[in-house]
A and B are shown apart, each in its own frame.
Chain A
Amino acid sequence: MIKKDIKGELAFAGSLLILGLVVLFDTKNMLVPPGSGTIGPQVFPYLVSGLVILVSLGIFVEIFRGNLGQPEGTEFGDIVDKTDYKSLLLVAGAMATYPLLIERAGFVVASTVAFFGVSYAFGAKNAPKNLLISVIFSLIVYFSFTRGLNVNLPSGILGGI
């Protein structure tokens, strides 16, 4: 268990370091419009990248000292030690279908699919009931937002209803 935790923490600190380096390099290669003055648009980003890099190094230090981050507690039940990748990927996947579908197939379809996917991942195994609820939810939201609040939602393949 300890080994796994450290791997994750190291990955986290590593990503932070990469972030800092990305900011640093982007700032270096930035196209600075002439006349930006001495305190141009690069000063702050340099400072920020410096901070990020320092902090990531700090976390590396903490990890090697054994101070690992405490995972957050929630009100939904106890936290398990091993990540349930199946559920996680299922939820992430369901969320990812939303941007893919929303403009091609319309809001209602995208919302339905996402809703279905997330509920399924959380344990709603009764597929037909789940699907029905997903559709109803999406329809209610669609109509209340487009008719009731005049918000623009893509109608996609169901356009014309």
Chain B
Amino acid sequence: MFGLLGTILGTLVGVLPGIGPALAIALLLPITYTVSPASALIMFAAIYYGAMYGGSTTSILLNTPGESGSVITALEGHQMAKRGRAGAALATAAIGSFIAGTIATGILAFAAPSLAGWAIAVTAADYFALMLVAFTTVGTLLGSSMIRGLASLAVGLSLGLIGSDLQSGAVRLTFGNLHAIDGIETVTVIVSLFALGEALYIAGRAKNTGWSIIPMKGRAIMTREDLKRSWKPWLRGTAIGFPLGVIPAGGSEVPTFLSYATEKSLSKHKDEFGKGAIEGVAGPEAANNANAAGALVPLLALGLPTSATAAVVLVAFQSYNIQPGPLLFVTNPDIVWTLIASLFIGNTLLLALNLPFVRVWVQLLKIPRPYLFSGITCFALLGAYVANNAIFDLWIALGVGIIGFAFRRFGVPITPLIIGLILGPMAELQMRRALQISAGDVSALYATSLSKILYFVLIMVIIGPLVWNFKKKLAVKK
């Protein structure tokens, strides 16, 4: 039942322009506070997938992708809509997402426990190294400027410091404010960063242009020809999207773009690309969903979020005192299976619900922009307040909103901040554990073979792009 509600809410919120899945889950979190963990999980799963589908609806009909994963869908999907084939585009997106989601969730169900079993052998030093790798990949691969990504990460780490240190009781960066002792609510940060920051940014910097909605003719069904052309891209998209989702900081641009490029080069209808080729929607959409499911693997098995959306899910879990990680499968196996089951259910519900209901969602897009933003803002502020029923949180939210504005204005990616905020304390914990066991011997941090490999990867990630750029410059000079 909650699954149904979650699907509806998720799609609803996902359709709204400017709200990606991360923000959608974060905004809808307050609704789940008073609900039992099992139902809440089902809702989360439904919202997760629902928001992604909503995003693709927007990108097809409006050419306004709601998040980076939908950018490629907008490319071909909107062209299809212009040619009157919106229904088929939506259908292929929905079915492709469903198939990808099902396959990916299936792999998740099998892979996660084995990964978790192996993960128990991982030491604190390895965890620390792993997190450092995650930091670096997120900091350097997202966005256009490595240094700015790192800046975002650094700010996130600093915010994560605020509050009392769990291991010693010392209080950091609170400046005497009692409210800050517990640290800053992660959800508040995420919501303010996305919603308030976006509102401020659009107010200050975007021209007041509206958008035109392509009316949807016909039903959301596919012809046999469409199906024939879609099914391989669906599978290929899944294959591309899933592994990339597992890796930290894949983001959704890379898998979707890769899928698009693959489909284009493999297609027998190359000339249609750019004018509405259905493979260009089928592949990337499947990749997008598989990517999202893939991100759940490190989240469940290691407790490591690899994207902003995964980070929100992590926080949601923690609010129920469920700590994802290798122990999860031992202590709370039923929760995990509930989640996986609900992912399947959510996925199916999505398909069943959305194909017929697309027109309804489209009505949402007709909400005038001013009310859209005020609604989002008020919801975001509400969410910030109810976390602790404290005004302090609201001021923090405003401050973070300003940071969100600044980041957008100066081209600094936002995801690293969130990752830094959440993983910072975790990384610190692992580092101190490792060093305490070795009584201060720093070499303990790279003693195990896994940590050596990880540090090697880390160095590669940093040096790689630099060497690449250097070589390019050399080539140009010649």
Question: In chain A, residues 66-87, which have Cβ atoms closer than 8 Å to a Cβ of chain B?
Answer: 67-72, 74-80, 83-85, 87
Most chain B CB neighbours (cut-off 10 Å) among A45, A98, A149: A98
A48/B157 in contact, CB under 8 A: yes
B residues near A22, Cβ cutoff 8 Å:
173
B residues near A56, Cβ cutoff 8 Å:
151
A8/B148 in contact, CB under 8 A: no
Question: In chain A, residues 45-102, which have Cβ atoms closer than 8 Å to a Cβ of chain B?
Answer: 45, 48-49, 51-52, 55-56, 58-59, 62, 67-72, 74-80, 83-85, 87-88, 90-92, 94-96, 98-99, 102
Q: In whole Å, how far is A38's beta carbon from the nearest beta carbon of chain B?
A: 5
Q: How far is the CA of A151 from the CA of B64 in the complex (A)?
A: 35
B411/A151 in contact, CB under 8 A: no
Q: How far is the CA of A17 from the CA of B398 in the complex (A)?
A: 21
Q: Which of B33, B371, B405 contacts A133 (CB 8 A)?
A: B371
Q: Which of A68, A85, A102, A122 contacts B394 (CB 8 A)?
A: A102
Q: How far is the CA of A98 from the CA of B157 in the complex (A)?
A: 28
B34/A98 in contact, CB under 8 A: no
Q: In whole Å, how far is B411's beta carbon from the nearest beta carbon of chain A?
A: 3
A98/B168 in contact, CB under 8 A: no
Identity of the chain A residue whose Cβ is nearest the Cβ of B156 in the assembled complex: A48
Q: Which of A58, A80, A88 contacts B207 (CB 8 A)?
A: A80
Q: Which of B198, B378, B389 contacts A74 (CB 8 A)?
A: B198
Q: Which of A9, A71, A115 contacts B205 (CB 8 A)?
A: A71
Q: Is A105 an interface residue (CB 8 A)?
A: no
Q: Is B409 an interface residue (CB 8 A)?
A: yes
Interface size range of chain A in the complex = 35 or more
B148/A59 in contact, CB under 8 A: yes
B residues near A48, Cβ cutoff 8 Å:
154, 157-158, 161, 424
Q: Is A1 an interface residue (CB 8 A)?
A: no
A114/B411 in contact, CB under 8 A: no
Q: Which of A23, A76, A114 contacts B381 (CB 8 A)?
A: A114
A residues near B18, Cβ cutoff 8 Å:
74-76
Identity of the chain B residue whose Cβ is nearest the Cβ of A96 in the assembled complex: B398
A residues near B145, Cβ cutoff 8 Å:
62, 67, 69-70
Q: Is B447 an interface residue (CB 8 A)?
A: no
B residues near A55, Cβ cutoff 8 Å:
147, 150-151, 154
Q: Is A30 an interface residue (CB 8 A)?
A: yes
B394/A99 in contact, CB under 8 A: yes
User: Can you list, as one digit per residue, whether each of A9-27 has a CB less than 8 Å from chain B (1) or not (0)?
Assistant: 1001001100110110011
Identity of the chain B residue whose Cβ is nearest the Cβ of A78 in the assembled complex: B207
B residues near A143, Cβ cutoff 8 Å:
none
User: Can you list, as one digit per residue, whether each of A136-161 has a CB less than 8 Å from chain B (1) or not (0)?
Assistant: 01100100010001111100000000
A120/B370 in contact, CB under 8 A: yes
Q: Is B17 an interface residue (CB 8 A)?
A: yes
Q: Is B382 an interface residue (CB 8 A)?
A: yes
Q: How far is the CA of A59 from the CA of B30 in the complex (A)?
A: 38
A80/B151 in contact, CB under 8 A: no
State whether A16 and B206 are in contact (beta carbons under 8 Å apart), knowing that A75-B211, A111-B378, A118-B373 are contacts in the complex.
no
Q: Is B453 an interface residue (CB 8 A)?
A: no
Question: In chain B, residues 198-213, which have Cβ atoms closer than 8 Å to a Cβ of chain A?
Answer: 198-211
Q: How far is the CA of A98 from the CA of B398 in the complex (A)?
A: 10
Identity of the chain A residue whose Cβ is nearest the Cβ of B432 in the assembled complex: A39
Q: In whole Å, how far is B140's beta carbon from the nearest beta carbon of chain A?
A: 12
Question: In chain B, residues 371-413, which have Cβ atoms closer than 8 Å to a Cβ of chain A?
Answer: 371, 373-375, 377-379, 381-382, 385-386, 389, 391, 394-395, 398, 401-402, 405-406, 408-412
Identity of the chain A residue whose Cβ is nearest the Cβ of B196 in the assembled complex: A95
A44/B371 in contact, CB under 8 A: no
B residues near A128, Cβ cutoff 8 Å:
none
Q: In whole Å, how far is B32's beta carbon from the nearest beta carbon of chain A?
A: 9
B residues near A95, Cβ cutoff 8 Å:
196, 199-200, 377, 381, 398, 401
A69/B398 in contact, CB under 8 A: no
Q: Is B170 an interface residue (CB 8 A)?
A: yes
B residues near A122, Cβ cutoff 8 Å:
202-203, 208, 369-370, 373-374
Q: In whole Å, how far is A59's beta carbon from the nearest beta carbon of chain B?
A: 6
User: Can you list, as one digit per residue, whether each of B1-24 has a CB less than 8 Å from chain A (1) or not (0)?
Assistant: 000000000000000011000000
Q: Is B167 an interface residue (CB 8 A)?
A: yes
A residues near B158, Cβ cutoff 8 Å:
19-20, 23, 48-49, 52
Q: In whole Å, how far is A109's beta carbon from the nearest beta carbon of chain B?
A: 12
State whether A23 and B173 are in contact (beta carbons under 8 Å apart), knowing that A84-B204, A137-B378 are contacts in the complex.
yes
User: Can you list, as one digit per residue, whether each of B136-179 has a CB less than 8 Å from chain A (1) or not (0)?
Assistant: 00000000110110110111011001000101111111010000
A residues near B167, Cβ cutoff 8 Å:
36, 41
Identity of the chain B residue whose Cβ is nearest the Cβ of A118 in the assembled complex: B374
Q: How far is the CA of A26 from the CA of B175 in the complex (A)?
A: 8
B residues near A152, Cβ cutoff 8 Å:
386, 389
Q: How far is the CA of A16 from the CA of B153 in the complex (A)?
A: 12
State whether A123 and B370 are in contact (beta carbons under 8 Å apart), knowing that A32-B170, A77-B206 are contacts in the complex.
yes
Identity of the chain B residue whose Cβ is nearest the Cβ of A23 in the assembled complex: B158
Q: How far is the CA of A36 from the CA of B385 in the complex (A)?
A: 34
Q: Which of B205, B209, B439 contacts A84 (CB 8 A)?
A: B205
Q: How far is the CA of A153 from the CA of B205 in the complex (A)?
A: 33
9 tightest CB-CB pairs across the interface, nearest first?
A69-B411, A88-B204, A75-B64, A77-B209, A99-B394, A122-B370, A118-B374, A124-B370, A119-B370
Binding site for A on B (CB under 8 A): 17-18, 30-31, 33-34, 62, 64-66, 144-145, 147-148, 150-151, 153-155, 157-158, 161, 165, 167-173, 175, 196, 198-211, 368-371, 373-375, 377-379, 381-382, 385-386, 389, 391, 394-395, 398, 401-402, 405-406, 408-412, 424, 428, 431-432, 435-436, 439-440
Given contacts A12-B412, A90-B203, 8 further A-B contacts (CB under 8 A): A16-B155, A36-B170, A38-B439, A43-B431, A52-B157, A70-B145, A74-B206, A115-B377
